[in-house]
Structure 1
Amino acid sequence: MQPNKFSKLGQSGIGFVEQAMLVFITLATIVATGQAVVHIWVASAVTVADLLLLFLYLEILTMLNHYLGSGNLPVRYPLYIGIIALARYLVLDIKELEAWRIFAVSASILLIAIAILIVRYGHVKFPYSDAHEHDHHSK
């Protein structure tokens, strides 16, 4: 199907909203990083939870940078963020968690790590070609 002028206009509008959201997410992440650094400074101590939070923000900025640079978003970036978020949850709440919940979160981390390995293997074993990408987007 060939795009008509309305679909092109809609695509432009969605693209503008997408860019605005990316700018907002970037600014919000920078502000959150600043707040975390101020918290560390005021507390005069750095905890593992603080470091994991900073890594979360770093992964978000890395994901945004990659997306802005290439126009695509590898699925593994959100998976990395999920692992870090779950690890931080464990670190913060380990004293209050029941054993089954610790096991469930740990198993979730393991499953996400396996998913990352599968995705990486798929990208190496079955790489996308530019022709395939073009055909896929034009359909």
Structure 2
Amino acid sequence: MKSKWPEKLRKGLHAPADALGNLFVESFHYLALFGIGAITAYAAVATFIEMLEKGGISVDDILLLFIYLELGAMVGIYFKTNHMPIRFLLYVAITALTRLLIGDVSHHKAPDVGLLYVCGGILLLAFAILVVRFASYRYPSTRVIDANGKDMDDGKV
């Protein structure tokens, strides 16, 4: 007959180790989010001060501030929902490509095939947003919670 004490000891060690691991992971998670949020805010303020010192504001500068705004919104939404909204990353990418497009056309040589590549990238990202929005509407992620409050969808029940 097998002794049950090793199994009880294993289970007794598992719960505190699991709790400690969760504490470390969540602590790092929030520390990283605070860091990203602080760096984004700092970069936005530094860019704004630089624009004021320059004495003029270009469309490039305004689009850069929009990129910082979207990054800050992503961090805020992630804090509140614990989910990363992929659409915001796509918006940032479109804004960055638009900034590149405007800067290239207004500050450099005549438009060439590179202009078509950037416009094609913007079009692809816009299509990706359409696909993501359609998919989230058509196939929403739902969470089934049982009577005890446990998540039935995460496979731990």
Normalised by the length of structure 2, the TM-score is 0.77
How far apart, CA to CA, are the structure 1 residues paired with 2:81 and 2:110?
Answer: 41
Question: What are structure 1's unaligned runs of at least 5 residues?
Answer: none
Report how many aligned residue pairs link the two structures: 137
* Change over 3 Å in CA distance of 1:102–1:13 after alignment to 2: same
* Counterpart residue number, 2:127: 114
In the alignment, does 2:84 pair up with 1:73? yes
Query: Cα RMSD between the aligned structures?
Result: 2.2
Q: Would the alpha carbon gap of residues 81 and 107 (structure 1) be closer, same or farther in structure 2, given more than 3 Å must change? A: same
In 2, Cα distance between the equivalents of 1:20 and 1:29? 14
* Identical counterparts, % of pairs: 28
Structure 2: gaps spanning 5 or more residues: 1-13, 146-150
Of structures 1 and 2, the one scoring higher in RCO (CA 8 A, sep 6+) is 1
Matches within 5 A, 1:1-139: 5-94=16-105, 95-96=108-109, 99-131=112-144, 134-136=152-154, 138=156
More helix by share: 1
1:134 Cα deviation after fit: 4.3
Deviates more, 1:18-27 or 1:127-136: 127-136
